[in-house]
Amino acid sequence: MAKKEVKKVVLAYSGGLDTSIILKWLQDEYDCEVVTFTADLGQGEEVEPARQKALDLGIKPENIFIEDLREEFVRDFVFPMFRANAIYEGEYLLGTSIARPLIAKKQVEIARKVGADAVAHGATGKGNDQVRFELGYLALNPELTVIAPWREWDLNSREKLLAYAEEHGIPIEKKGKKSPYSMDANLLHISYEGQILEDPAAEPEEDMWLWTTSPEKAPDTPEYITIGFEKGDPVSINGEALSPATLLKRLNDYGNKHGIGRIDIVENRMVGMKARGCYETPGGTILLKAHRAIESITLDREEAHLKDEMMPRYAKLIYNGMWWSPERRMMQAAIDATQENVNGEVRLKLYKGNVIVVGRTSPTSLYSEEHSTFEEDEVYNQKDAEGFIRLNALRFVIEGKKQPHRIESLVGEEEADVCRIETKSVTICERIKRFFGFGKKEEA
């Protein structure tokens, strides 16, 4: 298929070898003007050197965009996701997934600003990121042409990429030992894929982990911290008010020190294959535990249960790149409505890879000590429970009378006969006790 004519393209540019090759390839293959966009999402590396690398590759100064997105990333993407307690497949805190819609949004904004007619990314044709980027582009400006070099070129090996770089004078940095893993980092997490991790039975080497102290080497003394919440979002640590990005960075520091947030999982990619990845999400792991703790005393039971039922669907939407979809926005509105009274403080103990909740308080707490106490109280009549149980068991009683064969399949024919014979003379509570074997008299 012939390439679509492109005049100007906005490239998501990290300044690394792969995106530098893509930059040159776009110039050669599409004969177009290239605009670079580099996002600072708190990945822990300097982003400013990308400016000089772009200049060295012939990019005009006015076509180089470098933006600090740390506060926007945490405030408008990470925090809304954590209000939902989102976890994909029970373990993954979606650190890479949640960054892609913001990058796509900024590329579209820059394209509008500079009059570009195309956008490009460096995601491969095997992964999830191609979907996440492109769904964002199409949702925000479907008129833009999308260029995905990895689906077009034949540079499908490291050797071919290096040869292309050498042929076109693209600098190849050789500073010390290069990590063998494919990595992605931002303020929420760092991920590791590829090489020895492609064998799901192989244990990762300890020196792979770049952020967290090994739990075995973490401090022998636990550390206590208190996180303050307002309307579901964390706003302070130990009483100190912090901006969203600063707060998450502080939690990362605590988590790294105490070996918190390492996971090793095999996940189901959107494209259909399974992939093994290792992740460090120190601050996010602490935040998730704290948020669930403050919700435990501020959310109504059914509100909390319904929210938990929604969460896997919400997490899957984010994993699959559906951040801009109407269904995600609809679910977000429902989730955010539950957070109005999620206020207060959670005290945590951090110790050798563990996050332990040791206390929670809230001015909007639904916890009632006078109702919950095991001591004598004047607000709860325990006899009320009998009628409650009777009403909840009524459908079981009717089923036992009308469809006795179903009881036989559950408890056996002899026990079912006893239940039928004694239905009128034995109370519901007594029959429940007999069914579960409680209160039986020992044989003489």
Instruction: Report, as an integer, the average pLDDT of 199-210.
Output: 96
What does the pLDDT read at residue 425? Answer: 45
Q: Of 105-109, 198-202, 418-422, where does mean pLDDT reach its minimum?
A: 418-422
Instruction: Report, as an integer, the average pLDDT of 369-390.
Output: 76
Residue 14: active-site member:
no
240: three-class secondary structure by DSSP: strand
Overall pTM surpassing 0.95 (yes/no): no
**Residues 162, 274: one domain?**
no
Residue 100: active-site member:
yes
Chain centroid, CA 53 distance in Å: 33
Is there a domain that residue 335 lies in? Answer: no
CATH of the domain at 269: 3.90.1260.10
Instruction: Report, as an integer, the average pLDDT of 410-416.
Output: 61
Given the residues 14, 51, 129, 360, select the one marked as catalytic.
129
Residue 18: active-site member:
yes
What does the pLDDT read at residue 203? Answer: 96
Is there a domain that residue 309 lies in? Answer: no
∠ CA 72-73-74, rounded to 5°: 95
Is there a domain that residue 327 lies in? Answer: no
CB 286 within 8 A of CB 255: yes
Chain centroid, CA 135 distance in Å: 18
| Residue 378 confidence class, pLDDT cut points 50, 70, 90 | confident
Is there a domain that residue 152 lies in? Answer: yes
Given the residues 75, 76, 117, 182, select the one marked as catalytic.
182
CB 15 within 8 A of CB 28: no
Average pLDDT, the chain: 90
What does the pLDDT read at residue 177? Answer: 55
- Give the whole-number percent of the chain exceeding pLDDT 70: 89
Range of the domain at 430: 384-435
Range among 14-18, 213-217, 390-394 with highest mean pLDDT value: 213-217
38: three-class secondary structure by DSSP: strand
User: E strands, 106-158, where?
Assistant: 118-120, 145-147
pLDDT at 180 over 90: no
Our count of domains for the chain comes to 3
Residue 368: active-site member:
no
Question: Which pair of tokens denotes residue 37?
Answer: 């966009």
d(CA 105, CA 109): 6
First to last CA, the chain: 89
Beta bridge partners of 234: 229
**What pLDDT, in 10s, does the model give residues 302-312?**
999 999 999 99
- Give the whole-number percent of the chain exceeding pLDDT 90: 73
Given the residues 51, 70, 100, 250, select the one marked as catalytic.
100
Instruction: Report, as an integer, the average pLDDT of 69-86.
Output: 98
Largest interatomic CA distance in the chain: 97
Higher pLDDT, 382 or 167: 167
| Residue 385 confidence class, pLDDT cut points 50, 70, 90 | confident
